[in-house]
Amino acid sequence: MRILILTTGSRGDVAPFTGLGQRIQRAGHEVALATHDRFGELVRACGLEHRTLPGDPVELSRARTAAPSPEAAAEVFAAFIDELGDGVLAAAEDGADLLLTAFGPAPLSRVVARGLGLRCLGVYLAPGVPTREFRRRAGRRPATTSRRAGRHRPGPASSTPACCAGCGLT
């Protein structure tokens, strides 16, 4: 099976997926890891195929910080996401039977998978919401908490149940 792992962000976001890719490769599957060029050497040093995702998260952070207004920062981010979406599509079109996606590119990965008729599975190696072990930082209220009632509001049901279908890795 040809498996494409998609991840973005810092080295700390990318490096854990190299270990996952190596383990999947040892199980007999072909593995490519799509991420930004700044991590291409890391990916290849782990014996995995590197597929380039456009943009640079460091430059994105600098550009958003330097933006003269919140609106300008939002425009910078929107342009980054548009470019990233094109890169996710290109990486998947280069050949894959299954997409494994990190938290950050997950929405783009699911759209691409659906459009190409591929299976997609979210692989979140760090919690995206507070847990007992990883509580929210002081002073920051999670988006799913009602300020009035202080109770958790469940989010909408997943619109992509096909992503949870058996992936054939066992």
pLDDT for the residue 102: 93
Q: Locate tokens 């890719």: which residue?
A: 21
pLDDT for the residue 137: 64
Predicted model pTM = 0.74
The DSSP secondary structure of 121-154, one letter per residue, reads EE--SS-SS--SSSPPPTT---TTB-TTT--B--
Q: Is residue 109 within 8 Å of residue 81, measured between CB atoms?
A: no
pLDDT for the residue 169: 33
Parse the chain into domains and list their residue ranges: 2-127
Helix (H) or strand (E) holding 81: helix 70-93
Of the candidate CATH numbers 3.40.50.2000, 1.10.760.10, 3.40.50.300, 3.40.640.10, the domain formed by 2-127 belongs to 3.40.50.2000
Task: Report the number of secondary-structure helices (H) and strands (E) in the chain.
Answer: 5, 5
The Cβ of residue 123 has, within 10 Å, a number of other Cβ atoms equal to 16
* Token code pair at residue 10: 């810092």
Helix (H) or strand (E) holding 1: none
DSSP state of 157: P
pLDDT for the residue 155: 37
Across the chain, which has 170 residues, the per-10-residue mean pLDDT values are 95 93 97 96 97 91 90 91 94 96 93 96 80 66 44 36 33
pLDDT for the residue 129: 72
Amino acid type, 132: R
